[in-house]
Structure 1
Amino acid sequence: MKSTKEALLISGLIITVIFLTSSCGSNSENQNSDSSLEDVDVISIAEITPSKLSDVVDDIGYTALKYHPEHRAYRIDKVLIEDGLIYIFDYYSGRSLSVYDLKGNFQFAITKPGQGPDQYLEVQDFLIDKSNIEVLDARGRLIIYNENGIFERSEKLPFVAQAFSKVEGNYLFQTGKIPNELGENGKSCEVVQYNLETKKADCQLEIHNGKNPHSFKERNILKNIGGITYYSTYFNDTIYRKQGDKFTPRFIMNFSSNALPDDTFDPKKSNRDLIGTPNDNKDKAYHTPNLQGNTDLLLTEFRNNGIYRLIYDTKNELKTVLKTTSENNVDGGLPLYWSHTVSNRDIIMIIDSDYALERASKLKEEKSQFNEKEQAFLDFASSLSIEAPLVMIAYHLK
């Protein structure tokens, strides 16, 4: 089990991009529709000096998620916190959703991999709506469970989708850039609005670069954040927001001269050439969205010879960049490897409890005297049951 866990952690940190889903750099302008310059916030990444964790975070809280035999989620693909419950979905390893309360008490699990009417073959995305749990299956189906994880019904979609969200009773689906005729005059649509009752589909954003040679799964690319629906894809420097019946640019990440070469996204290039370009240009920067946030915060990620997290405090207009492997100089604990979700001003990371125990052991080897926050971390680790599968860590922003 330990080797599997280590492999999962390493695989989450290694830069292995094996697909192409959209354009970047100047090509993002091709998708600009009617957005005025006043509406677009250009974020100059090169002008932001990466910060230390202690420059951004002033406190870290820990919660052990208690052992239960029905828990099977170890690789964390998506986390939602809704109405006092933590929903943790492992799409591929455990193929299971585990639900906990905020104190770490196990509530229930959905473990339904398979091909039956109440089962999911391969999970693409999930959301919580009015306490119902809605799962997007790779077969182009929605599978809906009630607030206790009991199957209610499934709905067949007229298209295959990779991600989804829900706005005022209508669904928004990202088609994964699979060719379709959902756009105007039969053009392919990248984001489509769909009503389950009327079966009406309206294209919100057409595909301008349809290359998607692999089925690598993006995470948190279509999200409702602070009452606004945002959308972005790998390699596209633009983050769109939904306005009326379309998506228009809201933020553009400017990597200036450090962006990928201009010819990276030449439509004449073969898929084989496209796949290798990022690995051949590891010193170059490009957007790899992981959209999180709330009314006052927006988070996303980018690659630049490592994985970096952009934290944009929209209320105070403060932009911060953190490398995901930056040393935890707040309490000596784990770096902020992943941002799985945001709760108020806490960035939430869910991680295997073994890593918290290992880090505590190393901290005690590194020094013999500890400050108050370091001691609090060590006290938590010493009280951690070896049976606890996961730890929820809350990094509180200043």
Structure 2
Amino acid sequence: MKKLFNCWKLNLGILMMALFFSQCGKPNSGGNSSQLTAEQVLKVDLNHQDELSDRNNLDSLSIIRLETSKECLIGNINKIEILENRIYILDKFKSRSLFCFKLSGEFEFKIHNLGDGPGEFTLPEDFSVIDQEISIYDNFRKMKINYDQNGNFISETKMVVSIRNILQLDDGIALVTPDESYLDSENDYNLLVTDRNIGKILERYIPNVTLGESIFSSNKVFSKWGTRILFTYGFNDTIYSFDKKDLMRQLVMDFGKNKIPYEIAETESREVRDRIFDTNYNYNGLLMDISENEDYISFRYTNFSLLKDHDPFLLYSKESKKVYNFTNIYNYEHRFKINPPMFVYKNKFVSKVTYDIKGESTPGLLPSEMDNPALAIYTIKRGY
């Protein structure tokens, strides 16, 4: 009888483990997972590289030169948003500031309240602008710090979890990618739904944070176009859509042999992790910087073996249902290069202008190396 009981316990344990692992792959710990159709799985051919330029489908390009002065020197653009004719730029690490410019490029103000007191922050991890309120999220103080539209401190609230990325929604909830380095097992998820102040967790999605969430910082994992929200996370080949508290798989990038194996993405072993940077491999992962407009979805990906002068991104055409691998965006007429899209403003993509192709660019069009960067606002014709 005892042997029979032990056998029953063993079978029950195996059954429970099977159920556990079958649930781990589902997007929502308490919801349903949609089935992928064949056209949603996109094969990415990294050997076929396209170029986007004014010679093919790059169109309606305009340049915004950001004002340069001692008060508004930008070290790097970690996040950009354009809302109500204002440009908001977050420089997370170098100046540790949130800058506000007019759409013309004229500087308005910056928020640079460094410290550990009320209204101050140590590191501005992310920001949001909603309902005439600017919020900066500081993981060190674990605070959501609120300012008015002129950058004046209003209030601050304690967050229940540190964040990596955030998207504030109009209905009083926020979508949060938590910062893995501050997580406990209870919040070890890739996506959290919280109240507006990140004071209460309402839903948890996609358990088991992977390597990509711990050693790399994913930029702009959310995109909002109309009522649709897209989301991805580190060392992951899938883009999800979020609608009315349902998370569904939308697009899956099939990198084939270039995909980072799960044994690397999920390991804590430094020896195994070092394989990512081994020159014998050509792994891809870490989808980021999602931007969507009426015709396309754009997103960057990490290729650890590419040279530094490459800044690849993928473009999914809603019309053809195909994905294209771009390594460069050029404007040959005025001789400059453009970074991959970071934001969408009035159906146009927004990117940072980088450097000349050959020789001198059009005089007065682009800033010098000592100036703030310029922004490119453009469309991509419906041809892909």
TM class by shorter chain equals 0.7 to 0.9
* 1:132 correspondence with 2:133: yes
Contact 2:110 2:151 in 1 (8 A): yes
Structure 1 regions of 5+ residues with no counterpart?
1-26, 365-376
- Kindly report which structure 2 residues correspond to 1:13-92, keeping only aligned pairs within 5 A, or say none: 30-32=25-27, 33-38=32-37, 41-46=40-45, 49-54=48-53, 55-92=56-93
- Kindly report which structure 2 residues correspond to 1:140-159, keeping only aligned pairs within 5 A, or say none: 140-159=142-161
Q: The residue matched to 1:339 in structure 2 has which SS?
A: coil
Distance 2:213 2:45 in 1: 30
Contact 2:148 2:154 in 1 (8 A): yes
Query: 1:72/1:120 Cα in 2 relative to 1: closer, same or farther (>3 Å)?
Result: farther
Distance 1:179 1:385 in 2: 42
Contact 2:294 2:347 in 1 (8 A): no
* 1:378 correspondence with 2:362: yes
Which region of structure 1 is more displaced relative to structure 2, 32-41 or 271-280? Answer: 32-41
- Kindly report which structure 2 residues correspond to 1:185-204, keeping only aligned pairs within 5 A, or say none: 188-196=188-196, 199-204=199-204
How far does the alpha carbon of each residue in 1:165-200 deviate from its partner, in whole angstroms, 9 at most, with x for none?
1221111221123543556xxxx3332222257954
With the length of structure 2 as denominator, give the TM-score of the two structures: 0.79
Distance 1:44 1:95 in 2: 39
Give 1:201 deviation, angstroms: 1.8
Higher Rg of the two aligned structures: 2
In the alignment, what sits opposite 1:222?
Answer: 222
Give 1:316 deviation, angstroms: 5.5
Q: Among residues 252, 260, 275, which one is paired with 1:277 in the alignment?
A: 275
Contact 1:63 1:393 in 2 (8 A): yes
Query: 1:80/1:179 Cα in 2 relative to 1: closer, same or farther (>3 Å)?
Result: same
Q: The residue matched to 1:342 in structure 2 has which SS?
A: strand
Distance 2:23 2:292 in 1: 23
Q: The residue matched to 2:63 in structure 1 has which SS?
A: strand
Query: 1:119/1:240 Cα in 2 relative to 1: closer, same or farther (>3 Å)?
Result: same
Q: The residue matched to 2:276 in structure 1 has which SS?
A: helix
In the alignment, what sits opposite 1:120?
Answer: 121
Percent of aligned pairs with the same amino acid: 19
Give 1:126 deviation, angstroms: 0.9
In the alignment, what sits opposite 1:390?
Answer: 373
Query: 1:282/1:378 Cα in 2 relative to 1: closer, same or farther (>3 Å)?
Result: farther
- Kindly report which structure 2 residues correspond to 1:187-266, keeping only aligned pairs within 5 A, or say none: 188-196=188-196, 199-211=199-211, 214=214, 216-261=216-261, 263-265=263-265
* 1:96 correspondence with 2:105: no
In the alignment, what sits opposite 1:333?
Answer: 335
Give 1:42 deviation, angstroms: 1.3
Contact 2:161 2:198 in 1 (8 A): no
Query: 1:64/1:28 Cα in 2 relative to 1: closer, same or farther (>3 Å)?
Result: farther
In the alignment, what sits opposite 1:319?
Answer: 323
Quick one: higher RCO (CA 8 Å, sep 6+), 1 or 2? 1
Letter of the 1:30 partner, please give it. Answer: G
Query: 1:189/1:138 Cα in 2 relative to 1: closer, same or farther (>3 Å)?
Result: same
Structure 2 regions of 5+ residues with no counterpart?
1-21
Q: The residue matched to 2:118 in structure 1 has which SS?
A: coil
Looking at secondary structure, tell me which structure has more helix per residue: 1
Distance 2:25 2:205 in 1: 11
With the length of structure 1 as denominator, give the TM-score of the two structures: 0.76
- Kindly report which structure 2 residues correspond to 1:148-187, keeping only aligned pairs within 5 A, or say none: 148-167=150-169, 168-177=171-180, 178-180=182-184, 182=186
In the alignment, what sits opposite 2:359?
Answer: 363
Q: CA RMSD in A?
A: 3.1
Contact 1:125 1:162 in 2 (8 A): yes
Query: 1:278/1:28 Cα in 2 relative to 1: closer, same or farther (>3 Å)?
Result: farther
Give 1:320 deviation, angstroms: 2.6
Letter of the 1:249 partner, please give it. Answer: R
Contact 2:339 2:352 in 1 (8 A): no
Off by >6 Å, runs of 4+ in structure 1: none
Distance 1:303 1:198 in 2: 29
Give 1:81 deviation, angstroms: 0.6
- Count residues with an aligned counterpart: 345
Query: 1:198/1:107 Cα in 2 relative to 1: closer, same or farther (>3 Å)?
Result: closer
Looking at secondary structure, tell me which structure has more strand per residue: 2
Contact 1:285 1:302 in 2 (8 A): yes
Distance 1:270 1:41 in 2: 31
Q: The residue matched to 1:311 in structure 2 has which SS?
A: strand
